[in-house]
Structure 1
Amino acid sequence: MDKKLLIIGFVWPEPNSSAAGSRMMQLIALFQQEDYDITFASACAKTENATNLKALKIATETIALNHSSFDDFVKDLQPDVVIFDRFMTEEQFGWRVAEHCPNALRILDTEDLHCLRKGREEAFKCNDLFETKHLFNDVAKREIASILRSDLSLIISEAEMDILTQVFKIDHSLLYYLPFLLDAISEDTISTLPKFDERHHFITIGNFLHPPNYQSVLYLKQYVWPKIRQQLPKAELHVYGAYTSQKVNQLHQDKEGFFIKGYAEDVAKVMQKARVCLAPLQFGAGLKGKLVDAMQNGTPCVMSSIAAEGMFGPLDTNGFIVDDIKEFVTSAVDLYTNASIWKAFQDNGFKVINSRFQRTNFQDDFMQLIQDLRSILDLHRQGNFMGQLLQHHSLQSTKYMSKWIEEKNKS
């Protein structure tokens, strides 16, 4: 029997632009391996960086916000499983799926916990120490409601699992820890990577549509890089990332060795040329794709505690975790100049990828859970009364707002 998966994307996946794009392609590969017929739909405009899904035998559909044409589309498709890419997508389309495909398993892929990122950003802007109170923002009300309405939510970080279960008291049955799903790094691959003496300069990377990445680069420019440059006058910092804006490009300074490189066509290539990756993120959430790219390509890091969150578990890190500016600079210089420290951290990174994020450690259990939930879906939903409450028509504000907008657009 054919198994149908509908993915409703917040954007079209761009794995070379963002960790979210890589994550989406990993999920697609997982379901393809289980012989699901996959349709990817999005209301967002495609960019030139988007993956050619049709070449991967994935059907695509452009859908409209606040329009009943989606109802006809989803009724005709009748998917067995629907994945919402981030809570905003579930808000827009979740009620339509529930109405027209009540037997479809509804899965929310959170990507990262948006209310955590928002709370940290608000604390940062106010120069406050982040506390639990910052979590209880307007984004949290929407995001937690979306999690409760869904049959299952995929959580990428163990730290965020703890926040959801301990702070927001979400039942474990509604959550599933599913981090990055990566191929193991073999000894043969490791042997081909450039060695310490073959690498030069520092690198940082991140999609500039993502506010934490711009703030990180600004922090490097203003506070960190000048001090590193004083001690390593021949070193350069190469800044990569999709969607550079004028405010990013104006940070470029040849004389200071601060180079805005823009979009990286091949992340592995540029990461392997660099000796050290810098990631001083001051707010954010989820797992950081830049650290995964660094570990996969044998590039040790100096990172903030927020950048490192959820990445290493009980294992040794692939670099220094420091938040103080002076310590960050000292760590960066030490890592750049000491081959033995550098090699030890590089080896740690390979172990982290192979122990914590190897795809084969997760895929069987996850797909078995999907099968089990589909077979007991009514019983599973009965155990989630808060979800039923939020699906009740009197509380579906997004549904009736959408219908109002649709009618308004007709006039």
Structure 2
Amino acid sequence: MRKVLVIGYVWPEPRSSAAGSRMLELLGVFRSQGWQVTFASAAALSTHRADLAELEIEEVAVALNCDSFDAYVARLQPDLVLFDRFFTEEQFGWRVEQAWPAALRVLDTSDLHCLRDARHTLLKASQQACGSEAQRHQIGPVAATPQQLYAAMAASDMAQREVAAIYRCDLTLMISEFEMQLLQEQFGVPPSLLHDCALMLIPPTQDDLPFSKREHFLSIGNFRHAPNWDAVLWLKNALWPLVRARLPQAQLHVYGAYPPPKATALHNPKQGFHVLGWADDAHRVMAQARVCLAPLRFGAGIKGKLADAMACGTPSVTTAIGSEGMHGALPWPGHIVDTAEQFADAAVQLHEDTNAWSRARAHAADLLRSRFDRQRLGAELLARLERLLATREQHRQMNFVGAMLRHHQHKSTRYMSQWIAAKNAVSS
């Protein structure tokens, strides 16, 4: 029986974020093989975390910069260690290699953080060039070619750290084909280090309510995720006024985990803009809505909210960044637009035109089946991991850059961590 240790940046919250849904799906794939799975994290326990005991997954609290982790890994002797995002690999990767070098080291990016960060920087630069607050509200989504993105990313601390973590690992799970292409063509990452794995915890298709039984627009997303908060601001300041000008009685319900006071302050029933916060059942409210709005101006990865909309039979309006990596050559179940006027036109059409709404919804089933088949994706992942476990040493010999980075980069990380551990030991 394989032993898997997953080191989480946070405890998985599948009802709060797409990253939490993805993590729970990965854990389910491992457990489907009867593998012994342990989930460890140094994060504080969260209210909305998943009940891992239901999946027979052991939970272990670990400490940062503490040698007790090394001893724990040496006792566990895992076959595979999965790092949840690159910051976790930075903290624990060298410790895993030192304590149990036989373990296959796998990184799950969730999304490419340096890509999201670069797009955010480009958006802010465009806004700062505006002469007024009103003009800043009108700035649309970031439109940059892979070459332009590389120019914005190459010198950034985050890109260098994240790509270095990818090289240091035996395999990195990527959720977006666009990001895989960017890493290979612009950063020169070998395909042997990457695996296309668009696993998401997508709900079973709901009993679809017809057009006549649905009402209102819906927007949903964890408020702690910067692209989601920016999307709410763009909705409030630029997009929703255009929709209301066309549909004076329209109502927008904005849901999301962890709404800060600055978000709840936007609640304005007179404008039909309702900030409702946490949804006890996100899939239920999605299945009751007529149209999902996801006006993302920057970001990365694939968007759980849009996959959920497909499963719930809810057409969506989003941007090219929102749909990135999700549909390939298949038609989108709604509209992909990148200007405020186009967004409002598309939203109103889907909300009012039953034929347009039905045509959009019809595209969802094919897209989910083609792009997000969990059985196929899970089987492909397991087969790739088994091949790597059987050829681990040969695989590592071919990754000289990774070996070099582990030798040099982790020396500084290791010594800093050991210094903190020694300092903590003296102070206690």
Match of 1:134 among 148, 152, 174: 152
Asked if structure 1 preserves the Cα contact closer than 8 Å seen for 2:80 and 2:103, the reply is yes
Q: 1:283-317, CA deviations, whole angstroms, 9 ceiling, x for partnerless residues? A: 10000111011101000011011101011001010
Distance 2:33 2:200 in 1: 15
Distance 2:304 2:377 in 1: 18
Which runs of no fewer than 5 residues in structure 1 stay unpaired? none
Does residue 202 (structure 1) correspond to residue 220 (structure 2)? The answer is no
In structure 1, what residue type is equivalent to 2:88? T
> Residues 26 and 65 from structure 1, CA distance in 2 versus in 1: closer, same or farther, beyond 3 angstroms?
same
In structure 1, what residue type is equivalent to 2:165? S
Does residue 238 (structure 1) correspond to residue 253 (structure 2)? The answer is yes
Shift of 1:242: 0.2
Which runs of no fewer than 5 residues in structure 2 stay unpaired? 128-142
Q: 1:124-166, CA deviations, whole angstroms, 9 ceiling, x for partnerless residues? A: 0011864221122110000000000000000000000000100
* Residue in 2 that maps onto 1:338: 353
In structure 2, what residue type is equivalent to 1:110? T
* Residue in 2 that maps onto 1:399: 414
Shift of 1:182: 5.5
* Residue in 2 that maps onto 1:28: 27
Shift of 1:409: 2.4
> Residues 268 and 178 from structure 1, CA distance in 2 versus in 1: closer, same or farther, beyond 3 angstroms?
same
Asked if structure 2 preserves the Cα contact closer than 8 Å seen for 1:202 and 1:275, the reply is yes
Distance 2:2 2:319 in 1: 43
The percentage of counterpart residues that share the same residue type is 47
Distance 2:350 2:168 in 1: 47
Shift of 1:408: 2.5
Q: Any idea what SS the aligned residue of 2:126 has?
A: coil
Does residue 219 (structure 1) correspond to residue 230 (structure 2)? The answer is no
In structure 1, what residue type is equivalent to 2:176? S
* Residue in 2 that maps onto 1:120: 119
In structure 2, what residue type is equivalent to 1:258? F
Does residue 367 (structure 1) correspond to residue 382 (structure 2)? The answer is yes
Asked if structure 2 preserves the Cα contact closer than 8 Å seen for 1:181 and 1:358, the reply is no
* Residue in 2 that maps onto 1:45: 44
* Residue in 2 that maps onto 1:147: 166
With 176-185 and 356-365 compared, the bigger mean Cα shift is at 176-185
Does residue 313 (structure 1) correspond to residue 328 (structure 2)? The answer is yes
Distance 1:184 1:46 in 2: 25
Distance 1:349 1:135 in 2: 34
Q: Any idea what SS the aligned residue of 2:299 has?
A: coil
Q: Any idea what SS the aligned residue of 2:335 has?
A: strand
Q: Any idea what SS the aligned residue of 1:23 has?
A: helix
Distance 2:376 2:74 in 1: 35
In structure 2, what residue type is equivalent to 1:127? S
Q: How many equivalent residue pairs? A: 406
Asked if structure 2 preserves the Cα contact closer than 8 Å seen for 1:114 and 1:143, the reply is yes
In structure 2, what residue type is equivalent to 1:178? C
Distance 1:397 1:147 in 2: 18
Distance 1:51 1:184 in 2: 15
Cα RMSD over matched residues?
A: 1.4
TM-score (norm 2): 0.93
* Residue in 2 that maps onto 1:57: 56
Asked if structure 2 preserves the Cα contact closer than 8 Å seen for 1:390 and 1:396, the reply is no
For residues 345-360 of structure 1, what are the structure 2 equivalents within 5 Å? 345-360=360-375
Q: Any idea what SS the aligned residue of 1:286 has?
A: coil
For residues 271-350 of structure 1, what are the structure 2 equivalents within 5 Å? 271-350=286-365
Asked if structure 2 preserves the Cα contact closer than 8 Å seen for 1:200 and 1:235, the reply is no
